[in-house]
A = this chain, B = another copy of it.
Amino acid sequence: MSAQSNSWRVNFASDNVGGAAPEIVAALAEAADGFAMPYGNDDLTEKFRALAAETFETELAAYPVATGTAANSIALATLAPPYGVIYCHEGAHIEEDECAAPEFYIGGGKLTLLGGADGKFSAGDLKAKLGDPSAAAAVHHAQPAAVSISQLTEKGTAYTLEEIRAIADVAHAHGLRLHMDGARFANAVNALGCSPAEASWKSGVDVLSFGATKNGAFAAEAVIFFDPALAKDIEFRRKRGGHLFSKMRFLSAQLCAYLENENWLRYGANANGAAKALADGLRNVDGVELLHPVDGNEIFARISASVHQALRAAGCQYYAFGEAPDGSVGIRLVTAFNTGDAETGHFLEAARAGAKGAAA
C-alpha cells in the first residue's frame, strides 16, 4: 500500500476508509443513553435478531461481532475439528489477509486452496479436489470440514446463484458445510438483483459472515447460521476469542440501523452504482484496461504511467501494485456507501487528462 497521507480529495483505497452512515451514527448516539443488561441480554440485540430473521425470511441464529476476521474465524471454528480442512480460493481473505486467524480459531487446521479466474473457484474444481465422497477417511490426512466462498470475491466479482448452488451441492454431498464470507454481501445482493435469502440459504449457504463495517457501520458484523443447530457452541468460541462485547447493544444498535428500512441495500446500491459509473468511464480512457468484471463496488484495472501520475496529482487515493517496466500499474478502486458523483467525476476527469497528456 503506497498510501500514507490521510488528506485526499478522493479516496478509493478501500471501503473501510470512509466513515459511518448517518442512520448508524444516530442509532449509536441514541443507544448511548440509559441502562441495558450486558452481553446481549438487551432489547437491541433481540431486535437485531428479529430483523435478521425478517431480512432473510427464515429462522436463524445471529451473533454480532466487531470484525470480519472474527466473524469468519469463529464461524469456521464452529464447523471444523482442530484437524479440519477448509476449502477456499487461493486469493480468499481468510487465506491471504487474516494472519492465520482461521487456523488459530480452528485450533491448528488447514486451508486447502483452489484456483480459478476472477477470484472464483468452480464446483467442478472443488469436486475434483475432494475426490470420492464414499472414500473412507484416512487418519493420515487432515479431514475435510467446510467450504468457504467470498461474496463479493477478492476480485470484486459475484458468484451467480447457480454457481453457489453447484458448489453447495458438492460440499453437501461430501458432508461439508458451506460458509460465505459476506464482507461485501450487500454489494453482492445488489449485483445479483435477488433477495438476501436467495443469495444465501436458498442457494445452499449454511453459515454467513454478514458484513456491515465496509458498508457504513463503525464496526459491526454478524455470524448468521441458517441452521441454528450449527451454532451449538459459538457463544463459548466467541467469548474465548474476546469477541463477546459487554455492551453488546452498541454492536446491535449499528446492525439494527443497518437493516432497518433496507438501509444496507441502499448503501450497497450506491457503492455499486458509483463503481459502475467509474468502470463505464474508464473503459473509454486510453491506457486503462479493466482486469475483472465489475459486479459490485470494486474495480481492478491496469493503468498507464501517465494516467497514474495524473490521478495522484489530482489527489486520488487507491491501492496500486505490480508496477511494470513501462511504468503501468495495477490498481484497485473501491467505492463506498457514500461515494458521490463529484468524486467519481473528479477521478474520471483526472484519468482522461492523464490519457490525453500521454497522447500529446
Contacts and interface: CB of A to CB of B under 8 A. Distances in A.
Q: What is the total number of copies of this protein in its complex?
A: 4
Contact of A101 (B25, B81, B235, B240): B240
**Most chain B CB atoms below 10 A, which of A4, A6, A42:** A6
Nearest to A36: B6
A132 interface: no
A358 B39 CA distance: 36
Interface in A82-124: 82-83, 85, 96-101, 103-111, 113
Interface string A6-38: 101001011011111000010011011111111
Interface in A33-75: 33-39, 41-43, 65-71, 73-74
Contacts of A3: 37
Contact of A82 (B4, B82, B97, B243): B82
B246 A16 contact: yes
A162 interface: no
A237 to B, nearest CB: 7
Contacts of A83: 99-100, 104, 233, 236-237, 239-240
Given A81-B233, A96-B141, 10 more contacts: A11-B35, A14-B38, A17-B36, A20-B250, A66-B245, A82-B107, A100-B108, A213-B247, A219-B251, A241-B241
